[in-house]
Amino acid sequence: MTKYNFFILIILTTALMGSSFAIGKIGLSYSSPLLLAGLRFVLAGIIMAVIVKKFKRPQPSGYRNWRRVLIIGALQTAGVMGCIFISLRTITASESSILTFMNPLLVIIFGTIFIGNRYRWYQWSGVVLGFVGVGIILGGIKDFNIGIVFGAFSAVFWAISTLLVNKWGMHFDTWALSAYQMLFGGGILLFLTFLLEDPFFDINKNSILILLWLSIMSSIVQFAVWYFLLQKGDPGKTSSYLFLAPFFGVLTGNILLQEVISYSLISGGIFILLGIYLVNNNYKKEIVSSNSYPLR
């Protein structure tokens, strides 16, 4: 694959990641948050499960592995996406995307505390820079509200699920794991919508188009392109481009929703993007410790 094609695909997948925040916020005009998130991932999970079956990808085996898929779905899809969609009710798409993409910073902290991973000095420098950026952004928000808490928790759930996938991933086919964790997580979200909110979904052309975009383009296509790039290139270098996703989150929030890009958002975002880049980068090839898991 040429560098030009790689660059085009990187832009495509990170733009789909980032733009889903603004499009999701638009979707909340037509649906309650947990219902929209649940419908998105149930639909995406069903489509991917059909693809997995059609191409005869290896299925999870045994009760233990299916339980692991359920746990990952509860964290990665239900936890992360549920928090994101709830946060979008009260904070901007830009703020939600930046808070959510703190997850690589938290992976370093949680991996050190709970798994005993060891990381290099520049990765810890990235953590410090990232949290300085978060502090700058939060300092520029005039009214602190519950959406900020949910935005932060989306990053916490994502970091935990990342560590679990890195620990358990060897037991699964990547495509099958993605399909079933989305399906299970989406099912959990649909269950929660009847417990925690007054569900509604206005069926019209706009709501259907938004749901299809979120399910197909921002879930299936984005996932397929991202894992294609991870397989074709160096995973560490490819993952370092994740810093582009919150950039596109801010950009599409401004274009689609006319969200104001404040100086605190710009300056804090720069610190966070640099932090994510340092956390995901690998300047040296040697292994730091035998029980380290790659950041993805």
| Torsion angles phi and psi, residue 31, rounded to 5 | -150, 155
What pTM did the predictor assign?
0.88
Give Cα separations from 54 to 31, 97, 131, 172, 175 (angstroms). Answer: 32, 34, 44, 17, 12
**What mean pLDDT comes out for the span 258-274?**
86
Q: Which of 41-50, 131-140, 254-263 has the lowest mean pLDDT?
A: 131-140
Residues 46 and 220: beta-carbon distance below 8 Å? no
pLDDT digits (tens, 9 = 90+) for 204-233: 999 999 999 999 999 999 988 988 887 777
Q: What is the DSSP string of the chain?
A: --HHHHHHHHHHHHHHHHHHHHHHHHHTTTB-HHHHHHHHHHHHHHHHHHHHHHTTPPPP-HHHHHHHHHHHIIIIIIIHHHHHHHHTTTS-HHHHHHHHTTHHHHHHHHIIIII-----HHHHHHHHHHHHHHHHHHHT-SS--HHHHHHHHHHHHHHHHHHHHHHHGGGS-HHHHHHHHHHHHHHHHHHHHHHHS---B--SHHHHHHHHIIIIIIIIIHHHHHHHHHHHS-HHHHHGGGGHHHHHHHHHHHHHH-----HHHHHHHHHHHHHHHHHH--S--S-S-TT-----
Average pLDDT, rounded, for the chain: 88
Cα(5)–Cα(179) distance, rounded to whole angstroms? 26
Name the pLDDT band for 235 (thresholds 50, 70, 90). low
- Nearest by Cα to 7 from 188, 214, 237: 237
Cα(147)–Cα(193) distance, rounded to whole angstroms? 17
In this prediction, residue 172 carries a pLDDT of 92
| Torsion angles phi and psi, residue 201, rounded to 5 | -145, 110
In this prediction, residue 166 carries a pLDDT of 85
In this prediction, residue 275 carries a pLDDT of 86
In this prediction, residue 186 carries a pLDDT of 97
In this prediction, residue 2 carries a pLDDT of 81
- Nearest by Cα to 82 from 114, 129, 23, 39: 39
Q: Which tokens hold the place of 55?
A: 């191409």
pLDDT of 142 above 80: no
Residue with tokens 């990765």: 123
- Nearest by Cα to 48 from 217, 218, 183: 183
**What mean pLDDT comes out for the span 145-158?**
93
Name the pLDDT band for 236 (thresholds 50, 70, 90). low
Q: Which of 26-30, 144-148, 234-238 has the lowest mean pLDDT?
A: 234-238
